[in-house]
Structure 1
Amino acid sequence: MNRIFLGMAASAMLLTACGKEQTYEPVEINPDIDVCDVCNMSITESQYATEVLLKDGSVETFDDIGCMVEYLNEQDEKTIGEKYVRDALSGDWVKLNKATFLYNKDYWTPMAYGVVSFSDQSSAEDYMKKEGKGEIMTLEEVMKHDWGGQQ
């Protein structure tokens, strides 16, 4: 009888654990040791840094959104837990699918992709107005953009 009860209790705990969604939080960049997983450059400009947190617990870091896009276009989405970019003004982490993106070939970014990210559209529009150039891009446009040999 005790074995049956223990088996039922263990099954109930497993089912409960299966129902919980895993959360993936960004990891702070250490400019002294972190390098981009695509171009191997040091990540010294952390406000442009991006991360992909994998379901196995590992973290892929990138110095530029363009490097992350290159990486993501070659990955199986099933292995990815979450993707983060940084707000170009505040430096706060923003989930990739929640960010607003601006592009201009003349925007400075570490690998010259010219894409900067923001936590909201208003901040992006203010930045674009201040710079006097740029265009808002959707995530889909960023992922499919023809970088024209930039890197």
Structure 2
Amino acid sequence: MKSLRPLLIVATIVILIVVLFLSLASKQKMVTIMEGNIARQPIPIVLHHFQDSECGMVIDEISYASQVVAPDGKTWFFHDHGGMVKWLERKNFKKDAMIWVHSLDTQQWIDGRNAYYTRDEITPMEYGFGAYEHSSEERIDFE
């Protein structure tokens, strides 16, 4: 019986660790794509709960976040506008996509095609694009 005791203790600890990791994994369900956004409106992003649909990095800052909504309501999320643009270039629905970007000047989700951009921001993937609702001399448009 004494020789079984250490084995039972180790087995119990291993089982507890496995149960702990499984319960944490079920609570962490990260969002990379959402379906059913037929209204094609921006989805509220919960920081640390959404992942960039292209690179998989966790969206932990809203400042440079963007979303792309396909005509069928499928929505993808990005933590850097530059990565979103590169991703969108490869999609056959790019001209029909609704693009939402988070505006640095109004702190609102705005139409990415109507936004104005700077090219010298410090962004998560270092593309440098910051979106603004209002134009100024140093900002460029989407095209």
Interval of TM-score (by shorter of Structure 1 and Structure 2): 0.5 to 0.7
- 1:28 corresponds, among 27, 32, 44, to 44
Q: TM-score, normalised by structure 1?
A: 0.64
Taking the aligned partners of 1:120 and 1:136, their CA distance within structure 2 comes to: 9
| Residue identity (%) | 28
CA offsets 1:42-83 (integer angstroms, 9 cap, x no match) = 111112110001122221000000110011100012684411
- 1:46 and 2:62 aligned: yes
SS of the residue 2:50 aligns to: coil
Q: Contact between 2:105 and 2:134, CA under 8 Å: does it hold in 1? A: no
Distance 1:89 1:30 in 2: 20
RMSD: 1.9
Higher alpha-carbon Rg: 2
- Secondary structure of the residue that 1:88 maps to in structure 2? coil
How many residue pairs match? The answer is 106
Equivalent residue, structure 2, for 1:58: 74
1:137, distance to aligned residue in structure 2 (A): 2.1
Structure 1: 5+ residue stretches without partners: 1-21, 126-134, 141-151
Pair 1:103–1:82, CA change in 2 (3 A): same
Structure showing the higher helix proportion among its residues = 1
Say whether 1:138 aligns with 2:141.
yes
2:64·2:130 contact (CA, 8 Å) conserved in 1? yes
Unmatched segments (≥5 aa) in structure 2: 1-37
